[in-house]
Amino acid sequence: MSNIPACPQCTLENTYPDGDNYVCADCGYEWPIAAASTEEEDKAIVKDANGTVLQDGDAVVLIKDLKVKGSSITLKQGTKVKSIRLVGGDHEVDCKMDAGNFMLKACFLRKA
């Protein structure tokens, strides 16, 4: 069995190394060999406003009133959010609240 990863674009396993890149023979997508790593290595460490490391399933509290763009909803300071999920990108925390589902930045949260 080959240790060459499947194509991240089409998810097919017909890939091969070519210089510093992997190439998918089916869709033609190329990606760097150095960037190919397991999901565990890709996980960035997410810290709250106090510098505490957050993990999936943690409970957090808002440290500031947050206005939701495009609506009249304001998420109030002190609101507790249970069972967060960490995701990549600018807004690292995905959570469900009474007002709906939101993506929040970790700098506005502290671990409960």
Tokens for 57, please give them.
Answer: 């399933």
Tell me, what CATH number does 106's domain have?
2.30.30.40
Beta bridge partners of 109: 62
pLDDT band at 5 (very low <50, low <70, confident <90, very high): confident
Range of the domain at 14: 1-38
Provide the 10 A C-beta neighbour count for residue 51.
8
Is residue 65 domain-shared with residue 34, that is, in the same domain? no
Is residue 75 domain-shared with residue 34, that is, in the same domain? no
Is residue 98 domain-shared with residue 50, that is, in the same domain? yes
Is residue 53 domain-shared with residue 86, that is, in the same domain? yes
Tokens for 98, please give them.
Answer: 């009474």
| Global confidence as pTM | 0.60
**Which pLDDT value is given to residue 36?**
52
> How many structural domains are present in the chain?
2
24-55 residue pLDDT tens: 989 888 888 876 554 444 567 899 999 999 99
